[in-house]
Amino acid sequence: MAHKAAPSGIWRDLASNISSGRVSEGHAGMAEQTTQEKPSLFQRGLSALSDVFSEIMPDMLAAGLLASISNILGGFPLVQTNETLYGINRLIGIS
């Protein structure tokens, strides 16, 4: 059975901070050290673009899946000869 080595460096410090309850104090100090930099114009534009696409991506995925199902079902002779199935397939294809 292998012997586990004792944690070293940052892990040992983290373990001692957790056991002593000083973790919240450490986070408060880190918040003071961080600086708030204003994002560049490119970063703001990219963020706005990604916000838009993250909202419509599920809709684009659903439309693609419906189109592929419509194309697959459209190839079956039963769908081409049955008026009800043909109508449903056309409705799926329109969306």
DSSP string covering 1-68:
-PPPPPP-THHHHHHHHHHHT-HHHHHHHHHHH---PPPPHHHHHHHHHHHHHHHHHHHHHHHHHHHH
- Domain parsing of the chain, residue ranges: 10-94
The per-residue pLDDT for 71 is: 85
Tens digits of residue pLDDT in 27-77: 555 555 556 788 889 998 998 888 888 888 899 999 889 888 888 888 888
- Who wins on pLDDT, 9 or 5? 9
